[in-house]
Structure 1
Amino acid sequence: MFTSNLPLAERMRPTNVDQLIGQEHLVGKTGILRKTIDSGVIPSMILWGPPGVGKTTIANIIANHVKQPFHTLSAVSAGVKDVREVIEKAKRNRNTILFIDEIHRFNKSQQDALLGAVEKGIVTLIGATTENPSFEVNSALLSRCQVYTLKSLTEDHLKKLVANAIANDEKLKKKTIELKETAALFKISGGDARKLLNLLELVTDSLGEKPVVTDDTVIEIAQQRVAIYDKSGEQHYDIISAFIKSIRGSDPNAAVYYLARMIEGGEDVKFIARRLVILASEDIGNANPTALVIATNAFQAVNVIGYPESRIILSQCVTYLASSPKSNASYMAINKAQQLVKETGDLQVPMAIRNAPTKLMKDEGYGKGYQYAHSYDGNFVEFEFMPDEIKNTKLYDPGKNAREEEMRKRLKALWKEKYNY
């Protein structure tokens, strides 16, 4: 029997590793996490991956398998008080597992409240995050956890999820479902298994006892019922794309509008700030090096401040970046350099600029002929630093803006015609 008030994604949630679709590298027959679960000895861990790929499900599977006390907290709503209450209960009942969803939303003091309990083994922590734990989980806590990276679900995985639900869910089995097309289901759900299954249920409920599922019917029903801004769906990517392109296009008005759309939609403040740091280098670069300083400081500030005041900091940063001169010259330079490395492989570093820490290496010619720039007028001497096979290769071409034109002028004066600046 199905529980009618539970959404399809909950009704179909796997209870053991054999039922889980996807994450074969972790829970397949030879997966490292499967071996850990089978052993019954569960370390504290962080499950890192996109939304709806199985983080919460894996935590529940672990709880079902090891039969230990299991507590769940959401970092969106829980505070230090909630964490401490679980820890006090765990002191009376050892081997407690504490699952914290969206652990990246915990601030430093909340994470610090966990540290001692994890360190002493009072609780086994399972944290789930969509953000890189290297940035979002403090190093002391992270060092006491195994990090398992979950992969995005493939189209084959999504097809299996849908087929499994239609074949095995008691409610859906009562319908005669004709699944003609799946592209819209997959696109709107954005690879999120939970959203996919709940969208499937929404569509089939809306179409009666003999639903014919096509891309057009899915889009029509989804547009009527799905939220305008979904942090993990198509709108998420459309809005962030428009946001970045507005800043790149030097339109502070459009940029701050899309910023407001994300803020009103509940977008993670760190996600927005992180994108601004990237943009400051990729799209502004040496045309205005201060842009990276401001973006980095904005990222640090919003980590301390949080909403709602962070909106002001973000607005200042966004309008500054949008109004700044632009250059992608540094971005293009590293792209060219990486492509060159792929094409030419591991070329030998010229002997003159190799490190020579030992007498033997000096005798072999390491460092021989190196000319120390500071020993020459203007702290410069023309010298070949590239491997012989690619000597005279120019990778950085300064942008057409006032600051980089000054850089171009200086480089041309130094290198004469060598690099054709």
Structure 2
Amino acid sequence: MSDSHIPLPERLRPRDLTQIIGQEHLLGEQAPLRQMIDQGHLPSIIFWGPPGVGKTTIALLLAQAVDRPFISLSALNTGVKELREIIAEGGDLLTPVVFIDEIHRFNKSQQDALLNAVEKGKITLIGATTENPSFEVNSALLSRCQVYSLNALSAESIQSLLTQALQNDSFLQERHILIEEFDALIQFAAGDARKALNLLDLIASTFEPDMENIITNAIVVKVAQQNIARYDKSGEQHYDLVSAFIKSIRGSDPDATLYWMARMLKGGEDPVFIARRMLIAASEDIGNSNPNALLLAGECFRSVQAVGMPECRIILGQCAVYLATSAKSNSTYLAINKAMELADKTSNLPVPLHLRNAPTKLMKEQGYGVDYLYPHNYPEHFVMQEYLPPELKGTKLYESARNKREVEAERLQQRRWQQQQQQ
């Protein structure tokens, strides 16, 4: 494979800790990681920081600096069985450095397996996470690791990174590129070195070699908007897949629902995010046509957090098929939106006196709670009375959908309206 076919971030991956840009607070002359390496010491570590700031690269270079074997795993596709096998094999090596990307996606049993290995010195763990480890890594494991925060790259660091890329990469050198304006590159990168380099590589691929090529903000915006999915997996493609997934549930197509879910999982989407979206769909698109959908989606959400990948794909699939094949209704979704809009316009209206509590004598004297009719004292636990402010009398926010469950539940609504019309 020619160098031009290797992604630019990989072609320019630092070969030494001194080449890391933007993490001087950890790797500077007197910084903690630098001092540890100078002493030949490497403890178990959790790196916490946004994507594209060097977590994986630093972990690899730390292992190399202390001359230890390096094993790289992803929490997305490593189960407990595989984890235990790797740990057992590592016992035959000089204590290996086991790097686990997205460690926050490991469930409790997976983290417990790591805990035992760390405690017994079978491995040196380096975990990477974009989530706060205080919430996502169990306390026993966390207490045995040093936690270091990595920063998003500053505008100056991104500019320095891009300048070095032009100077050091042969493919870019052939295109004689001059970056005239850095603003758009820095904005699209958003502190992420990988995004910055991928975008530069993408732009350079549109240039002819052995010509003078100038990068301006306008060129960056044009190329980025046309090809955003190629250099930013969390960008437009992410939202397109989620949109297709939700619309497939809403459209009652279980096959398409499973397909788009699989695409998201294969692309590295957080399964908790998918479960969260199904929680919303269970209420927004199914609602009271099948209240069990929300219960199942809630249990799915909790189970996914407990189990993690790869096993939680089964739970996600079960819930997704149930939602897709369920009866549909958005009546409560529309009703709460109307209510929110009405509340914005009428927030000055007082609560009618008969609906107010009267915990004190003074409140009772002022008429709080007077004339309130307790529904349980009446036949069928229903009595006609007004619950809205007088100014909103007759307002109807909820319109039941034409499905069996909501039609049956509409009986008291119809009775209330009939009595209201007679008054």
- TM (norm. structure 1) is 0.62
Q: Which amino acid aligns with 1:384?
A: E
Q: In terms of Rg, which structure is larger?
A: 2
Query: Corresponding residue for 2:105?
Result: 105
1:14 aligns with 2:13: no
The answer as to whether partners of 1:185 and 1:200 remain within 8 angstroms in 2 is no
Aligned residue in 2 for 1:201: 200
CA distance in 2, matches of 1:332, 1:419: 24
Report the alpha carbon displacement of residue 327 of structure 1 after superposing the two structures with TM: 1.0
CA gap of 1:417–1:383, structure 2 versus 1, over 3 A, is: closer
Deviation larger for 168-177 or 245-254: 168-177
User: In 2, Cα distance between the equivalents of 1:286 and 1:131?
Assistant: 36
CA distance in 1, matches of 2:285, 2:368: 39
Aligned to 1:347: 349
Structure 1 residue aligned with 2:408: 406
* 2:211 is equivalent to residue 234 of structure 1: no
Inter-CA distance 220–138: structure 2 relative to 1 (3 Å threshold): closer
3-state DSSP class of the match of 1:347? coil
The one-letter amino acid paired with 2:107 is: N
Letter in structure 2 aligned against 1:259: M
Unpaired segments of 5 or more residues in structure 1? Answer: 18-44, 61-72, 82-98, 116-125, 143-152
- Cα separation, 2, equivalents of 1:200 and 1:384: 62
Q: Deviations over 1:332-362 (max 9, x none)?
A: 1221122222222243222222222233333
Instruction: For 1:209-248, list aligned pairs within 5 A.
Output: 210-213=212-215, 214=219, 218=223, 226=230, 231-248=233-250
* Equivalence for 1:312: 314
What letter is aligned with 1:196? K
Q: Find 1:283's aligned residue among 285, 291, 296.
A: 285
Cα 1:381–1:311, aligned 2, differ >3 Å: closer, same or farther?
A: same
Q: Does 1:365 align with 2:367?
A: yes
1:367 CA drift (Å): 1.9
1:333 touches 1:395 (CA, 8 Å); kept in 2? Answer: yes
Letter aligned with residue 337 of structure 2: N
Distance 1:268 1:419, change over 3 A: farther
2:159–2:186 Cα contact (<8 Å) kept: no
Q: Is the 8 A contact 2:354 2:369 kept in 1?
A: yes
Matching residue of 2:417: 415
Change (3 A) 1:315 1:204: closer
Q: Is the 8 A contact 1:186 1:196 kept in 2?
A: no
Q: What is the CA distance between 1:78 and its match in structure 2?
A: 12
**CA 1:401 to 1:160, structure 2 compared with 1: closer, same or farther past 3 Å?**
farther
- Kept in 2: contact 1:48–1:133 (CA 8 A): no
In the alignment, which residue of structure 1 is the partner of 2:62?
none
Q: Secondary structure at the match of 1:177?
A: strand
Structure 1 partner of 2:383: 381
Structure 2: distance between partners of 1:55 and 1:333: 47
The 2-side partners of 1:139 and 1:381 are apart by 54
Cα 1:4–1:331 shift into 2, 3 Å: closer
Structure 1 128/393 Cα, relative in aligned 2: closer, same or farther at 3 Å?
A: farther
> How far apart, in 1, do the equivalents of 2:395 and 2:140 lie?
44
Greater mean deviation of Cα atoms: 248-257 or 304-313: 304-313
Shift of 1:222: 5.6
1:131-146 equivalence runs, <5 A: none
| Structure 2 residue matching 1:232: 3-state secondary structure | coil
Structure 2 CA distance for partners of 1:272 and 1:346, relative to 1, 3 Å:
same
Of 368, 393, 396, 1:394 maps to 396
Distance in 1 (CA, whole Å) between partners of 2:233 and 2:336 is 31
1:375 Cα deviation from its structure 2 partner = 0.8
Q: Distance in 2 between matches of 1:12 and 1:391?
A: 67
> CA–CA distance in 2 between the matches of 1:354 and 1:179?
67
User: What is the deviation of 1:55?
Assistant: 11
- Further displaced range: 387-396 or 163-172: 163-172
> Which amino acid is 2:394 matched to?
N
* 1:177 partnered with 2:178: yes
Cα distance in 2 for residues equivalent to 1:354 and 1:46? 53
Aligned length: 354
Letter in 1 for 2:105: R
Q: Give the Cα–Cα distance (whole angstroms) in 2 for the partners of residues 46 and 355 of structure 1.
A: 53
What is the CA RMSD across the aligned residues, in angstroms? 5.6
CA spacing shift, 1:74–1:263, aligned 2, 3 Å? closer
Larger mean Cα displacement after TM superposition, 198-207 or 307-316: 198-207
Deviations 1:212-231 (A, max 9, x none): 443698469969x948xx75
- What residue number does 2:130 align with? 129
SS in structure 2 of the partner of residue 416 of structure 1: helix
Comparing 256-265 and 237-246, the one that deviates more:
256-265
Give the structure-2-normalised TM-score. Answer: 0.62
Letter of the 1:177 partner, please give it: L
Residue 300 of structure 2 is aligned with which of 274, 298, 310? 298
